[in-house]
Amino acid sequence: MTAKHRKGKSNHKQEENFFKNDVVETEVRAGGNNHALLLVLFLMIVIGGAIGAWFCVQQNQTLSQLTDNLMGMQMKIVKLQSSHEEMRQSSSKQHISESLETRLNALEESNELAQKQVGMALATAEQLRTSDLPAQVLSLHTEMKTRLAEMQQATVSLEQLSQLQTMLKGKSEEFEGVRIQVADLAVVSSELSSKVEVLSRSLGEAESKLEERAGQVAALSATLDGQAAAVVGLKEQVDTYQAQLEASTLEMASVRGLLEREQSQQLQQDSVEEQLKVSSTLQDQNSAYKSKSRLHTSQAEMFEVIHRSVTRLNQICLCI
């Protein structure tokens, strides 16, 4: 019995030692995992801080470049204005040739373009300044430091580590978004400068085309004025021709009436001549009949009556 009890106690002790060893190994493994996660988190925080510092440096460099460009543009504008004033003063003293006038116009256009580009650069610089990237980077860096201090002070569970990892991923994504925005702003500024140049060129071309169109319109207006004067002259000629036509139509109507009257008189004269011929033939016949015979007195009287009627008709025609 005692041997059995001793064997059972020894077995219980071995099992307890085995469980203790397992617990110690699990604790050691958990401690090792926690240290590894802390190292990974620390490395990520360091990398994020370095990236933020790099972005800050890049932004400062871009801002310094923009300020240098602005200063250069302002100096160029001042030089252009001074040269422009000198040219104006010299032009007031002496006559300016066409080449000098074109040069003045070119200087004015370049001055306007430089002012436009300076305005665009100032706007982009203001946008970059108001984006407040360094403040965001500093806030992220301080937040990461506080998180690291909290994790070092207390024991961290796996769930908290996963949450921290997700938060860090979100912050890194935000950081990447900010970097993309900065790159986009740089691209937009370059595109805007190119577009400003293209617009200035298109404006110059449009002004030249407008001047050409103005000259064409002036020439067309002059030709239209000449054509209008010619049309007025033609209208006056048409009015005179129409008056002459009306007068000629009246004359033609009067001539036609006279011709009709002459034709009617000619017809009447022809009829009278025919009647006279008939009467002469009748007289001849009458004289023949008288010489031949006196028996035909009644016929002679009839011929005389006819002759009288014919003479009366002739007299009436002559009166008409």
Query: Does residue 295 share a domain with residue 205?
Result: no
**CA dihedral (286, 292, 297, 298) positive or negative:** negative
DSSP 192-228: HHHHHHHHHHHHHHHHHHHHHHHHHHHHHHHHHHHHH
Q: For position 225, what pLDDT does the model report?
A: 84
Cβ-based neighbour number of residue 162 at 10 Å: 11
Q: For position 54, what pLDDT does the model report?
A: 77
Domain assignment present for 238 = no
Query: Does residue 109 share a domain with residue 48?
Result: yes
- What is the number of domains present in the chain? 2
Kindly report the pTM of this predicted structure: 0.25
Query: Does residue 188 share a domain with residue 155?
Result: yes
Query: Does residue 122 share a domain with residue 13?
Result: yes
Distance in angstroms (rounded) separating the CA atoms of residues 80 and 78: 5
CB-CB contact of 133 with 56 (8 Å): yes
Residue-wise pLDDT tens digits, 288-310:
665 665 555 665 666 676 667 66
Domain residue limits at 275: 258-319
Query: Does residue 274 share a domain with residue 198?
Result: no
Domain assignment present for 244 = no
Query: Does residue 50 share a domain with residue 187?
Result: yes
Using alpha carbons only, what angle is made at residue 163 by residues 161 and 166, rounded to the nearest 5 degrees? 110
Query: Does residue 272 share a domain with residue 178?
Result: no
Residue-wise pLDDT tens digits, 16-33:
554 445 544 545 454 555
